[in-house]
Amino acid sequence: MSKPARGIAIMVVGLLVFAILNGVVKDQAHRFPVTEIIFFRNLFGLVPLIAAVPFIGGLRALRPVNLPGHLIQAVAMSVTLVCAYFAFATISLAEATAIMFLQPVILVVIAHFFLKERASLTAWIAVVLGFAGVLFIARPVGVGLGPGTIAAIAGAFFAAVAIAQVRGLSATNSALTITIWYMALSTLIFLPTTVFFWSAPSPQDLVGLVLMGLVSGAGQFLIILPFRYASAATLGPVQYFSIVGGVIVGYFWFAEVPSWTTVIGAAIVMSAMALVLPKREHPQTVKHQA
């Protein structure tokens, strides 16, 4: 198997893992506070990631070069998870996943106004297309945007902020190092929330929460690893599988049937993302999955 093909295969497996995990989160959100789910997700997600540390140079590779930068990125991703998990719990997985695909489109706006990166006409067309796609998905005419849709849009925005921060961190840190620091700091961020938002899990539920965290960490590694074998431009379109996975899990687990507006809206959002895909390899790029 060629290296790009290997990267694509690993990415598909990782995206499938996260599609299933999003279904798990949707199910768990009916019994536990979102913050509690995220706490378990991050705490036990660290286990498989830390196990991979010897392959990136040992503990020395984890020494933070820019701790404030890691903290900003961790806060942004923590807010992303709260918004995304709330969206998963309140709207269909297909809708939430499609709206979260706005992240690279929103990143264009953030980069233009805050990072002084001049956006091309094509990029601005992608911005307009992306939000038009969300309007198709949300169907706001006469009823207004629902809380789940607003949460998904907010999640995409904060995910874009996190990725913008990663651009700076990646100059001196490996992708795995950035991810470990994000999950460790995010665990500390959510630890105090367990005092106020906590639902005691049964032994069976506790096993489920721990397994969810462990698999999430492994899935995160499966999303990072492909960039060792293929470029971001090659792997970008593969991420569309997330929407397919959301449709499959939503249909078979929760009997969610996507409406025609969701299908059209998702296609428009995917088209917008395609316009802003990188045209050359960025080996240090980190992709975070909700």
Identify whether the C-beta of residue 258 lies closer than 8 Å to the C-beta of residue 92: yes
Lookup result for tokens 């367990």: 194
Kindly list the distances between the CA atom of residue 182 and the CA atoms of 53, 139, 173, 187, 257, in Å, as whole numbers in the listed order: 15, 35, 12, 8, 35
Residue 244, phi then psi, degrees to nearest 5:
-60, -45
pLDDT at position 215: 92
The answer to whether the beta carbons of residues 10 and 222 sit under 8 Å apart is yes
Query: 49 exposed, middle or buried (CB, 10 Å; 0-12, 13-18, 19+)?
Result: buried
Residue pLDDT, tens place only, 30-55: 899 999 999 999 999 999 888 878 87
Greatest CA separation found in the chain? 57
pLDDT averaged per 10 residues in sequence order, the chain, 290 residues: 79 90 92 94 91 77 83 94 93 88 83 77 84 77 71 92 83 82 94 92 93 90 78 71 86 88 85 70 50
Distance CA 220, CA 286 (A): 10
Q: Classify residue 59 by its DSSP letter.
A: G
Span between the terminal Cα atoms of the chain, in Å: 29
* Entry pTM: 0.83
Q: Where are the alpha helices (DSSP H) in the chain?
A: 3-28, 34-51, 67-90, 93-100, 103-114, 121-138, 147-169, 175-190, 193-196, 203-224, 232-235, 241-254, 260-275
What local confidence, expressed as pLDDT, does residue 155 receive? 94
d(CA 9, CA 21): 19
- Which residues make Cβ contacts (< 8 Å) with residue 254, sequence separation at least 6? 23, 26, 92, 93
**58 dihedral zone (left: phi>0; alpha: psi -120 to 50; beta):** left
DSSP labels, 238-256: GGGHHHHHHHHHHHHHH--
